[in-house]
């Protein structure tokens, strides 16, 4: 064999060796991925344990849900020469219903024929409504006391929960249920179109881990899940999960990365010519003084005093934030505690106090939730 032929064959052999190494590497990676995410012999998805201790808690916050016993207020009224469109009081379902509720509020605005509109409030309801109005060529100015992250919407969990504290079940009329279903379906469709945009919306596994059957547990979800939206919840057998509990279920659910989401939509609002004015609305006369002939009220709890809304009350909820743990990407609910894994941290929750205006975090509440979840993790099978 001449020198050139030897070099060519050596190069070919080296190439095949590289390919073989790559294939072996890919096989190892694939096996590792399978081992990490699905235990074939065990018959269940592997669920990484959460590292829990009080020293890993980096933030505690209390948010106030604007709960309206008869359901969100979405209607128009005249305020002198102005049209006032109300869009507030969504309880724990504000994030989930924001797009659908905003679309229905937009319909009321379009009836007026005006081209300049004021939106009061810069939370998820106000920001979403403003963007939807821009889609119809309307010039929008947002008036707000604060912007994210200093708004109630920044203190939410950000999971798909369209019926969470949306109204008192005993006061849910057929008309309201029809409104809720329409808003829910419109919202879910809007969220679907945002999947894949810088991870602001993503799918996660959600587990319910309880010792009581669903029928015997307190349930904040007023209405059954609507068909055709999130997948149905699946009850798991003992060999299909690692928890020491009698009733365990899993489903896929939608998670919102709140900081990125609010930043993106505020940026879009400004890019489309929107204006923001930092101005607190303290009384009805402040609204009357605005230059716009149509005003959309997305004030949340701020609407209670101004409009004397006796149906509106706060429901406080505390979240304690753990340092992010990359392998923990699931959501979990159990008695007295919950886990919500987001890009910016792992949030522990589990309480809701009706009528409470106090936003001071309780260390005792954090310790209680951490203790519940520590026990849950300790009892998990390896």
pLDDT in tens, 159-173: 999 999 999 988 999
Task: State the pLDDT confidence band at 1, using cuts at 50, 70 and 90.
Answer: very low
Residue-by-residue DSSP string for 114-170: -SEEEEE--SHHHHHHHHHHHTTT-EEEEEES--TTSSGGGGS--B--TTBTSS-GG
- Region 358-379 average pLDDT: 97
Q: Given this model, what pLDDT does residue 223 score?
A: 60
Q: Does 183 or 17 have the greater pLDDT score? A: 183
Rounded mean pLDDT of the chain? Answer: 87
- Region 34-57 average pLDDT: 69
277's tokens: 């004015």
Q: How far apart are CA 257 and CA 269, in angstroms?
A: 18
The answer to whether the CB of 348 falls within 8 A of the CB of 368 is no
pLDDT digits 0-9 by tens, 106-132: 999 999 999 999 999 999 999 999 999
The conformational region for residue 91 under phi > 0 = left, psi -120 to 50 = alpha, else beta, is: left
Q: Given this model, what pLDDT does residue 10 score?
A: 40
DSSP-derived 3-state class of residue 193: coil
Task: State the pLDDT confidence band at 365, using cuts at 50, 70 and 90.
Answer: very high
User: Given CA atoms 216, 218, 224, 230 in this order, what sign does their dihedral have?
Assistant: negative
pTM of the model: 0.85
pLDDT digits 0-9 by tens, 66-87: 999 999 999 999 999 999 999 9
- Region 15-21 average pLDDT: 38
Tell me the chain's radius of gyration from C-alpha atoms.
25
- Say how many C-beta atoms besides its own lie within 10 A of residue 165's C-beta: 23
Q: Given this model, what pLDDT does residue 17 score?
A: 38
Task: State the pLDDT confidence band at 224, using cuts at 50, 70 and 90.
Answer: low
Q: What are phi and psi of 83, to 5 degrees?
A: -100, 125
- Region 332-357 average pLDDT: 94
């Amino acid at each position: 064999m001449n020198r050139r032929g030897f070099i060519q064959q050596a190069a070919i052999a080296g190439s095949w060796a590289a390919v073989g190494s790559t294939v072996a590497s890919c096989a190892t990676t694939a096996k590792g991925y399978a081992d990490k995410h699905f235990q074939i012999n065990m018959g269940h998805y592997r669920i990484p344990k959460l590292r829990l201790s009080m020293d890993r808690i980096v933030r505690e916050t209390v948010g106030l849900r604007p709960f309206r016993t008869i359901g969100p207020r979405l209607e128009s009224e005249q305020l002198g020469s102005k049209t006032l469109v109300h869009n507030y009081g969504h309880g724990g379902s504000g994030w989930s219903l924001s797009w659908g509720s905003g679309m229905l509020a937009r319909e009321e605005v379009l009836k007026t024929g005006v081209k300049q509109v004021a939106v009061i409030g810069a939370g998820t309801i106000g920001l979403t409504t403003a963007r939807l109005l821009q889609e119809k060529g309307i010039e929008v100015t947002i008036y707000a006391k604060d912007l994210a992250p200093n708004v109630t919407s920044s203190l939410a969990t950000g999971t798909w929960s369209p019926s969470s504290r949306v109204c008192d079940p005993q006061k849910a009329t057929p008309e309201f249920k029809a409104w809720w279903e329409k808003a829910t379906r419109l919202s879910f469709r809007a969220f679907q179109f945002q999947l894949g945009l810088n991870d602001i919306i993503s799918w996660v596994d959600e587990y319910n881990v309880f010792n009581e059957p669903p029928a015997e547990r307190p349930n904040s979800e007023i209405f059954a899940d609507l068909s055709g939206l999130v997948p149905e919840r699946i009850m798991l057998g003992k060999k299909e999960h690692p928890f020491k509990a009698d009733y365990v279920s899993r489903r896929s659910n939608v998670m919102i990365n709140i900081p990125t989401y609010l930043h993106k939509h505020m940026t879009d609002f400004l890019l489309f010519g929107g204006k923001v004015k930092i101005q607190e609305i303290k009384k009805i006369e402040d609204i009357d003084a605005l230059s716009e002939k149509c005003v959309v009220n997305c004030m949340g709890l701020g609407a209670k005093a101004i409009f004397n809304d006796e149906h509106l009350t706060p429901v406080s909820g505390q979240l304690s934030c753990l340092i992010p743990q990359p392998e923990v990407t699931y959501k979990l609910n159990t008695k007295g505690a919950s886990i919500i894994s987001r890009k910016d941290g792992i949030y522990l929750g589990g309480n809701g106090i009706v009528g409470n205006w106090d936003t001071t975090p309780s260390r005792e509440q954090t310790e209680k939730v951490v203790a519940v979840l520590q026990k849950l993790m300790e009892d998990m099978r390896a």
